Amino acid sequence: MPPLYILLGGLLLFSSLHTTSLSATARGDTLAAGEALAASDKLISRNGKFALGFFQFQQSPGTTSKSPNTNTNTTSSSLGWYLGIWFNKIPVFTNVWVANREKPITDRELKLAQLKISGDGNLVIMLSNASTESIIWSTTGIVFTSTNNTSAVLMNNGNLALKPETSSNEVPLWQSFDYPTDVGLPGAKIGRNKATGFNHQFISKKSLIDPGLGSYSVQIDTNGVLLLRSRKPPFVVYWSWPSGKLAELVSALNALLDMDPRTKGLLKPTYADNDKEVYFTYTLLDESASVFVPIDITGQLKLKVWSQATESWQNIYAQPSYFCTTYAVCGPFTVCNGNASPFCSCMESFYQKSPRDWELDDRTGGCARNTPLDCTTSNKSTTSSTDVFHPIARVSLPYDPRRLDDATTQSSCAKACLNDCSCTAYAYTNSICSVWHGELLNVNQADGNGITSQDVLYIRLAARDLKSFTRDNKRIPIVVIVVTCSASLGFLIMLVLLLMIWRNRFKLCGAPLHGIQGTGGGIVAFRYTDLCHATRNFSERLGGGGFGSVFKGVLSDSTTIAVKRLDGARQGEKQFRAEVSSIGLIQHINLVKLIGFCCGGDKRLLVYEHMLNGSLDGHLFQSNAAVLSWSTRYQIAIGVARGLLYLHKSCRECIIHCDIKPENILLDASFVPKIADFGMAAFVGRDYSRVLTTFRGTAGYLAPEWLSGVAITPKVDVYSFGMVLLEIISGRRNSPEVHSSSGYHVTYFPVQAISKLHDGDLQSLMDPQLQGDFNLHEAERVCKVACWCIQDNEFDRPEMVEVVRALEGLQEFDIPPMPRLLAAITQSSDAASL
């Protein structure tokens, strides 16, 4: 069962492509029998929080829509008009329910459209003119016994309820909460009526501008299992919570909500399973807040809270936490990478079927071939093909493989696929031949987080689409070699010229920066005068270190930044190259984002995203800092571990940070950790054969092998991370100097931690500021991981992939032994104190 995570950051543009007019005529909160709601009218709940009326979607993202009672025209063409409910007081138009989601109203029909209660008591959208009436949408089609006394009321919780006015029964005849679209509001249920079989489910919308039935649904099935799955065949479940354990989900969500200051005391999840129904819902404890739970276009179930400070929706929680886990989220012949932006990309020699749909977050259409395959089968069942295979490395293999037991080698596996005109790819892993026919779905790139597969997929391409390949048992013609070499030489000369021009343009430093040529991911080359203006001449200092100082600044677009000004020509130059070369090439939620740099004359500056909560050491060791709760500390530990795993495993070259310590772990506004300060980072080969001769790191966090002269591996970061974990647990430095009545000695906390772990006395290790408020099982898990990480021998330490799994509760560690070096320190300290 996947664990729960917080998916933080990023704004979902649910309705930024459409708005409604503020000049629409308000009709109160009730539509009575005999009345009609026209396109220029709207109902508003008594508390003013929700509105119901007609609104319009548009084709072009980023444009403003129009409403029927305004004179403002737009250049984009509309897809249609819908009756729906939205948050009335929030400036970002956010729709939470749609009536006619599969049958939009055209511009021509809009002037005839009305919402009213029909003669049989149903709520209907009707097109009425002098001679005819036609129904666009109705509630359920059931004929109610009450007719003239029926009214529709927009409730304070956003529920549209159809009620008989003369009845004292609080149960409505019909309500929108029973027929949700893609959003669950507080009080709405997701579940099943056991007697009638009626199912409350959410179904994602198609795109940002089309609220029609999308690709994914969330529901509780007949066995009581909460499912996120594809809506259409094949019905693939990509996340679930088992029957009988939904109460545990409630407990986990409560812990998650209490941990986040934005949701603490805001919501109360509830689960019920009785003779009549089984359902999951949540209650809003603060009526002034705005909250909703959508199933996203991409199939993720999210919790979103409105932030008045930023005037935006904040993502609090998402499941599944990894975007690429969702079934076929990128469509056929695509590769999904959770660390890339955008997440989805076409395979080589494929193109987007509908670029417009991709822009609107609907990528399920996927990609198509540039060139059809060359494969024919004669009457004698012999196959002729000039197609070739192209490898895609480090991916999870596609959905629905077919195993070929007769193909016992990779060459026979490839041949079997090539001889079948419907075969589109093959893989040969662990001596098993797998082939795929038709579309390839769920090919996900290893990203060091949710996707860790190292398999190789061989996709079938037309020969002329492959830029370079070698045909088995055939020699490449000389003319091809000559043409290829000439073209390569010309390209190389052109590249050198471009680099020289680029270097002169931005006055980059004496030697080329490792990897900077490939940073085209948005890193900005700033002018020194611009950074002076942004920082008000470097007036607000945030902190500093051995390489220089960090200043707060604000760009012209109001982005808050942190500018590191490097001091010292030699040291500053070295760190400048290291940081731009390493973090300039990578992006991860747990790595600080490099926005840009400045390199002119003797000026060396690095521009980072600003971290509102500073560095971890300030919160752990400064007496005037706010105390971090255990839940926050635990999530910080997991986040740092994921960031290191990405550096070690998911980059083109393994990156060793070399200086992991609390000062280099920054915390954003939500206390999400970001690894920073890559000035000592090193690129090494995957065989770790490169020996780092320059001493790197900080005393107290250095692995023993730094002094031994052996080849440095990522295990030095593992060691440092173990020390940081011990400091997160204790709230104290790992080796403070202590004076006592018996004299002066050094108390080395790691020794004490392992000893207490062996004795089962974990309570005495915990930070006293927690006042005993921590999860003992999680604390023991963190302590075990930390003590394994600081073992003397690097081969005894776990890799970061094991560390992440252990911290997430997916792998168990035994109690570690006392490292010999730590034992020697203890004996030496004891002897000195005698």
Structural domain for 586, as ranges: 516-609
Mean pLDDT within 731-737: 72
What is residue 376's predicted lDDT score, i.e. its pLDDT?
Answer: 82
Q: Are residues 538 and 438 in the same domain?
A: no
Q: List, as one string, the DSSP characters of 281-295.
A: EEEES-TTS-EEEEB
- Report how far Cα 97 is from the mean position of its chain's Cα atoms: 25
pLDDT tens-place string over residues 579-594: 665 566 577 889 988 8
The verdict on residue 223 lying in a domain is yes
Q: Are residues 747 and 802 in the same domain?
A: yes
Here the tokens at position 21 are 């007019």
Q: How far apart are CA 810 and CA 804, in angstroms?
A: 9
The verdict on residue 502 lying in a domain is no
Task: Mark which of 594, 609, 624 sits at the end of a domain.
Answer: 609
Q: Are residues 169 and 49 in the same domain?
A: yes
| Percent with pLDDT over 70 in the chain | 76
Collapse the DSSP code of 580 into the 3-class scheme (helix H, G, I; strand E, B; otherwise coil) and give the result: helix
What sign results for the dihedral spanned by CA atoms 760, 766, 772, 774?
A: negative
Answer whether residue 89 shows pLDDT above 60: yes
Confidence of residue 14 (pLDDT cuts 50, 70, 90): very low
Burial 56-67 (b: 16+ CB within 10 A, else e): bbbebbeeebbb
Here the tokens at position 34 are 């005999």
What is residue 742's predicted lDDT score, i.e. its pLDDT?
Answer: 39
Residue type at 746? V
Confidence of residue 439 (pLDDT cuts 50, 70, 90): very high
Q: Is 659 tagged catalytic?
A: yes
Answer whether residue 18 shows pLDDT above 70: no
The verdict on residue 747 lying in a domain is yes
Answer whether residue 538 shows pLDDT above 70: yes
Residue type at 678? F
Answer whether residue 463 shows pLDDT above 70: yes
- Most confidently modeled range among 549-563, 724-738, 818-832: 549-563
Answer whether residue 762 shows pLDDT above 90: no
Q: Are residues 129 and 273 in the same domain?
A: yes
Q: With CA atoms as reference, report the closest residue to 646 among 814, 445, 366, 448.
A: 448
Q: How far apart are CA 79 and CA 107, in angstroms?
A: 9
What is residue 113's predicted lDDT score, i.e. its pLDDT?
Answer: 94
Answer whether residue 729 shows pLDDT above 90: yes
pLDDT tens-place string over residues 248-301: 888 878 877 887 788 888 999 999 999 999 999 999 999 999 999 999 999 999
Task: Mark which of 465, 483, 506 sits at the end of a domain.
Answer: 465
- Token pair 């004292």 in the structure block, residue: 168
Q: Are residues 533 and 656 in the same domain?
A: no
Answer whether residue 695 shows pLDDT above 60: no
Q: How far is CA 402 from CA 387, 423, 426, 458, 582, in A?
A: 20, 10, 9, 14, 41
Least confident of 210-219, 222-231, 265-274, 306-315: 306-315
What is residue 62's predicted lDDT score, i.e. its pLDDT?
Answer: 36
Answer whether residue 335 shows pLDDT above 70: yes
The verdict on residue 432 lying in a domain is yes
* C-beta separation of 17 from 61 below 8 A: yes
Exposure of 742 in the CB half-sphere (CA atoms within 13 A): 9
Answer whether residue 321 shows pLDDT above 80: no
Confidence of residue 649 (pLDDT cuts 50, 70, 90): confident
What is residue 602's predicted lDDT score, i.e. its pLDDT?
Answer: 76
Q: Are residues 33 and 167 in the same domain?
A: yes
Tell me: is residue 564 an annotated ligand-binding position: yes
Answer whether residue 65 shows pLDDT above 70: no
Backbone Cα Rg of the chain: 31
Q: Are residues 295 and 430 in the same domain?
A: no
Mean pLDDT within 479-508: 49
What is residue 473's predicted lDDT score, i.e. its pLDDT?
Answer: 36
Q: Are residues 689 and 715 in the same domain?
A: yes
Mean pLDDT within 215-228: 93
Answer whether residue 213 shows pLDDT above 70: yes
Going by the DSSP 8-state scheme, the letter that residue 431 receives in this structure is: T
Mean pLDDT within 669-675: 91
Q: What is the CATH number of the domain that holds 133?
A: 2.90.10.10
Burial 319-350 (b: 16+ CB within 10 A, else e): bbbbbbbbbbbbbbbbbbbbbbeebbbbbebb
Task: Please provide residue 529's backbone torsions phi and psi, each rounded to the nearest 5 degrees.
Answer: -65, -35
Mean pLDDT within 518-522: 42
What is residue 512's predicted lDDT score, i.e. its pLDDT?
Answer: 33
Q: What is the CATH number of the domain that holds 757?
A: 1.10.510.10
The verdict on residue 511 lying in a domain is no
Confidence of residue 738 (pLDDT cuts 50, 70, 90): very low
Mean pLDDT within 802-810: 90
Here the tokens at position 171 are 């149960």
What is residue 633's predicted lDDT score, i.e. its pLDDT?
Answer: 95
Which residues on adjacent β-strands are paired with residue 128?
A: 133
The verdict on residue 476 lying in a domain is no
Q: How far apart are CA 502 and CA 377, in angstroms?
A: 53
Q: Are residues 600 and 643 in the same domain?
A: no
What sign results for the dihedral spanned by CA atoms 522, 525, 530, 534?
A: positive
Going by the DSSP 8-state scheme, the letter that residue 800 receives in this structure is: H
Q: Are residues 629 and 759 in the same domain?
A: yes
Average pLDDT, the chain: 80
Q: Are residues 413 and 559 in the same domain?
A: no
Answer whether residue 126 shows pLDDT above 70: yes
* C-beta separation of 193 from 222 below 8 A: no
pLDDT tens-place string over residues 391-424: 998 899 999 999 999 999 999 999 999 999 999 9
User: Structurally, how many domains does the chain consist of?
Assistant: 4
The verdict on residue 755 lying in a domain is yes
Answer whether residue 476 shows pLDDT above 60: no
Answer whether residue 564 shows pLDDT above 80: yes
Least confident of 49-58, 117-126, 795-804, 818-827: 818-827
Least confident of 65-79, 319-333, 384-398: 65-79
Least confident of 9-18, 165-174, 521-530, 594-603: 9-18
* C-beta separation of 3 from 9 below 8 A: no
Going by the DSSP 8-state scheme, the letter that residue 649 receives in this structure is: I
* C-beta separation of 570 from 564 below 8 A: no
Answer whether residue 461 shows pLDDT above 90: yes
153 vs 74, more confident? 153
Q: List, as one string, the DSSP characters of 594-626.
A: EEEEEEETTEEEEEEE--TT-BHHHHHH-TTSP
Least confident of 377-381, 542-546, 808-812: 377-381
Task: Mark which of 576, 609, 642 sits at the end of a domain.
Answer: 609
The verdict on residue 473 lying in a domain is no
Least confident of 8-22, 113-127, 396-410: 8-22
Q: Are residues 777 and 701 in the same domain?
A: yes
Kindly name the residue from 182, 260, 362, 659 that is annotated as catalytic. 659
